[in-house]
Amino acid sequence: MDLYEAINSRRTVRDFEAKPVPTDILERIIEAAFKAPTNDHMRDWHYIIVRDKNVTAKLLDIIPKGITLEDMEALIKDWNLSDSIQQECYRNAVPKQYRMLFDASAVIIPLLKQKTDILHPDNVSHLNGFASIWCSIENIFLAATAEGYGCNLRIPLGNEAEYARTILDFPNDYFMPCFIGIGVPKSDIVSVTQKEINIKERIHWDKF
């Protein structure tokens, strides 16, 4: 698959078959993660790959298993989600937050060494480490797509990241930006509509 094909076919996958992703492919995907650009040349990143379903169950235990229709509607209102395509996305995604990770063949936890207080940065460059690991996360998504697999991600809410630290035992100076689920997409998957963007309106030559 060429690069543009991978970019164009990558979608967030939240419905998986109960099939594994082989170890060598997971390793190749993480190798691709390490090819991403990095702010300080160090790539002080680690990736915990959770495949043991007992560990997965413990790790995800803190994530709500679903949402009532009533709460879903309240969330759409509270978050001011007025765009109908955006609403479709949230209606699809929110109820699947637990299942999309539990049903994945593996859950990948990226970790970056964080030297400054990421939640209270003094300036933008204090977020460089965080920005760099997100470049690596996109490489994971694209590499997985090129290998024929699918990925999703969840930003840890509340104390999910601190809870993950206690389950997975990663050191205090490493920061977890997200959970990534990777697996074999269900064959009858219906992807949510992607918002159409008129590229010509978004490119500004020489001046906004």
Ligand X SMILES: Cc1cc2nc3c(=O)[nH]c(=O)nc-3n(C[C@H](O)[C@H](O)[C@H](O)COP(=O)(O)O)c2cc1C
Considering only residues 29, 112, 133, 153, which one is a binding residue for ligand X as defined by CB under 6 A? 153
Burial code (b: 16+ CB inside 10 Å, e: under 16) for 29-53 equals: bbebbeebebeeeebbbebbbbeee
Query: Does residue 152 interact with ligand X by CB under 6 A?
Result: yes
Considering only residues 49, 55, 93, 135, which one is a binding residue for ligand X as defined by CB under 6 A? 93
Interface of this chain with ligand X, residues 9 to 48, rule: CB under 6 A = 11-12
Burial code (b: 16+ CB inside 10 Å, e: under 16) for 155-179 equals: ebeeebbebbbebbebeeebbbbbb
Between 41 and 202, CB nearer to ligand X:
202
Between 12 and 87, CB nearer to ligand X:
12
Sole window of 28-36, 59-67, 150-158, 159-167 interacting with ligand X (rule: CB under 6 A): 150-158
- Measured distance CA(107)–CA(199) in Å, rounded: 34
In the complex, minimum distance from the CB of residue 31 to ligand X, in angstroms, rounded to a whole number: 22
Considering only residues 3, 18, 124, 155, which one is a binding residue for ligand X as defined by CB under 6 A? 155
Dihedral sign of CA atoms 28, 185, 145, 97 in order: negative
